Amino acid sequence: MASTLLNNAKQIVTNSSGKPYEIDVVEDASLLFADGVVKWIGNAAKAPKADITIDCTNQVVIPGFVDSHTHLIFGGDRSAEFAARMAGESYSAGGINFTVEKTRTASDAELRANAAGLISEMYSSGTTHFEIKSGYGLTLEDEIRSLKIAHEFTEDVTLMAAHVVPKEFESNRQGYIDLIINEMLPAAKGIAKFVDVFCETGAFTVDESRQILIAARDLGFERKIHANQLGQSDSLKLALEVNAVSADHVTHFTDEDVKDLADSKIVATLLPATEFSTNSPYPDAKRLINAGLKVAIATNCNPGSSFTTSMPFCIAVAVREMNFSIEEALWSATKGGALALGDNSRGSLQVDGKADFAILDAPSYVHLAYRPGVNLVNATYKNGEIVFSKGGK
Ligand code: NIG
């Protein structure tokens, strides 16, 4: 395959040292890639020759964003719920059932087209890799078809049948948990890599979540948990108990939670657009970062609590409202996301690593937070292939 040189970028962010939150910027830099892999990074004056040269003067190259928490398989629209919230109503897990009804009646083609549209938005804002959860089907058939559609787009698929207890099981909660454990988990083997539980008032208790996550562990799934989104509970303790790869939301936490998590490998995935869209207080990321935790930033793209696909938007909110430095936010949205998926092969730019990157029309990565709401992405490449270009592919 032809080699391509990204030539004379103002900055290339590499995240290459392997140290959390160090983004390792090379100034006045070039990057050579071929066969989907980075071959060389260094000072532009020393750049090797290539078959194709892309002029990156006054532009910045960053590792592609890794969006480690999305719910892209759904039908229907909840803009009315958002409008009501902006008029003073509060967010609750109850709205999920509206999307469940719309998802169950949607055809595969409709679900696939909706997800594909959102994924092209992701590529246009610099995301190169993403996780997708099920969780709006809540029958054996609808959860597995959601997983299969998700798997058409990514290898990082999560079974989230434990999103809420569906209406038909309202008076038989344990019956639904048994259905997840005995039928859905075995059927999800080979499609889903992760199992996630919404451990929250209005969704699943800590004891119910434990049953599901332990069964998932016994079947060899990686575990994730929606922890402390709406209030404080023992869900972070459960994340430790089941050795989760990530605990997500983490809007609420105690000093003891922070200390416990800091002694573990669990990545805390913060979801800035969720607090933004639900009018909720933001967590203070500095408390987690200063304690030595690895933090990821993700969009949580879903029709209820966070309907955005834009990682740059999440970075801007994280910096402005959650006490991230710009470097911490950028690292968390790239390498942090990769680690939240248990995958160190993404989220950085280094020789022999994946050529997954975005080219920003900006002289500094700082513009990601400095210019909120402006799409700075000129082009996005995944495995060395262009997946978005401002001028059209
Ligand atoms: O991560 N918290 C649970 N699930 C989604 C929201 C789902 C919805 O409201 O539809 C979330 O915020």
Instruction: Tell which residue, 100, 99, 83, has the closest CA to residue 91.
Output: 83
Q: Determine the Cα–Cα distance for residues 378 and 197; give it in Å rounded to an integer.
A: 37
Q: Which two tokens stand for residue 385?
A: 């292939």
Q: Which atom of ligand 1 is nearest to the CA of 136?
A: 10
Per-residue pLDDT band for 391 (boundaries 50, 70, 90) equals confident
Mean pLDDT of all residues in 248-277:
97
pLDDT digits (tens, 9 = 90+) for 327-342: 999 999 999 999 999 9
CA angle 242, 246, 252 (to 5 degrees): 95
295 CB-near residues (< 8 Å, 6+ apart)? 267, 268, 269, 270, 285, 288, 289, 328, 332, 336
Q: What value does the CA radius of gyration of the chain take, rounded to a whole number of Å? A: 21
Q: Coil, strand or helix: which one is 47? A: coil
Q: Determine the Cα–Cα distance for residues 244 and 228; give it in Å rounded to an integer.
A: 15
| Residue 91 predicted with pLDDT over 90 | no
How many Å lie between the centroid of ligand 1 and the Cα of residue 92?
Answer: 9
Percentage of the chain modeled with pLDDT above 90: 97
Instruction: Tell which residue, 125, 115, 74, 118, has the closest CA to residue 96.
Output: 74
Q: Which atom of ligand 1 is nearest to the CA of 160?
A: 4
Query: Whose C-alpha lies nearest to ligand 1, atom 11?
Result: 305
How many Å lie between the centroid of ligand 1 and the Cα of residue 350?
Answer: 35
Contact 194, 243 (CB under 8 A): no
Mean pLDDT of all residues in 260-267:
96
pLDDT at residue 290, rounded to an integer: 98
Q: In 198-332, which ranges are continuous DSSP H helix?
A: 206-218, 235-241, 255-262, 272-278, 285-290, 311-321, 326-331
| Residue 166 predicted with pLDDT over 70 | yes
Contact 371, 21 (CB under 8 A): no
| Residue 1 predicted with pLDDT over 90 | no
How many Å lie between the centroid of ligand 1 and the Cα of residue 36?
Answer: 35
Structural domains of the chain, with CATH: 4-64+348-389 (2.30.40.10), 66-340 (3.20.20.140)
Strand ranges (E), 35-178: 37-43, 52-55, 60-63, 65-67, 127-130, 132-133, 157-162
How many Å lie between the centroid of ligand 1 and the Cα of residue 96?
Answer: 7
Mean pLDDT, all residues of the chain: 97
| Residue 377 predicted with pLDDT over 60 | yes
Ligand 1 pocket (Cβ < 6 Å) reads: 71, 95-96, 99, 198, 226, 229, 274, 300, 302-306
| Residue 368 predicted with pLDDT over 90 | yes
Per-residue pLDDT band for 393 (boundaries 50, 70, 90) equals low
Q: Which atom of ligand 1 is nearest to the CA of 200?
A: 2
Query: Whose C-alpha lies nearest to ligand 1, atom 9?
Result: 304
Query: Whose C-alpha lies nearest to ligand 1, atom 3?
Result: 198
pLDDT digits (tens, 9 = 90+) for 280-310: 999 999 999 999 999 999 999 999 999 999 9
Query: Whose C-alpha lies nearest to ligand 1, atom 8?
Result: 304
How many Å lie between the centroid of ligand 1 and the Cα of residue 369?
Answer: 25
Query: Whose C-alpha lies nearest to ligand 1, atom 6?
Result: 305
Query: Across the chain, which distance is largest between two alpha carbons, in Å?
Result: 70
How many Å lie between the centroid of ligand 1 and the Cα of residue 135?
Answer: 9
Query: Whose C-alpha lies nearest to ligand 1, atom 5?
Result: 305
Alpha carbon 114 to its chain's center: 18
Mean pLDDT of all residues in 128-148:
98
Q: Among 67, 70, 71, 270, which is best to mutate for testing ligand 1, by the most ligand atoms less than 8 A from CB?
A: 71
How many Å lie between the centroid of ligand 1 and the Cα of residue 93?
Answer: 7
pLDDT digits (tens, 9 = 90+) for 180-223: 999 999 999 999 999 999 999 999 999 999 999 999 999 999 99
pTM: 0.98
Q: Determine the Cα–Cα distance for residues 300 and 309; give it in Å rounded to an integer.
A: 8
How many Å lie between the centroid of ligand 1 and the Cα of residue 230?
Answer: 11
How many Å lie between the centroid of ligand 1 and the Cα of residue 348?
Answer: 29
How many Å lie between the centroid of ligand 1 and the Cα of residue 298?
Answer: 13
Q: Which atom of ligand 1 is nearest to the CA of 229?
A: 2
Query: Whose C-alpha lies nearest to ligand 1, atom 1?
Result: 300
Q: In 87-172, which ranges are continuous DSSP H helix?
A: 96-105, 108-124, 140-151
Query: Whose C-alpha lies nearest to ligand 1, atom 12?
Result: 305
Per-residue pLDDT band for 30 (boundaries 50, 70, 90) equals very high
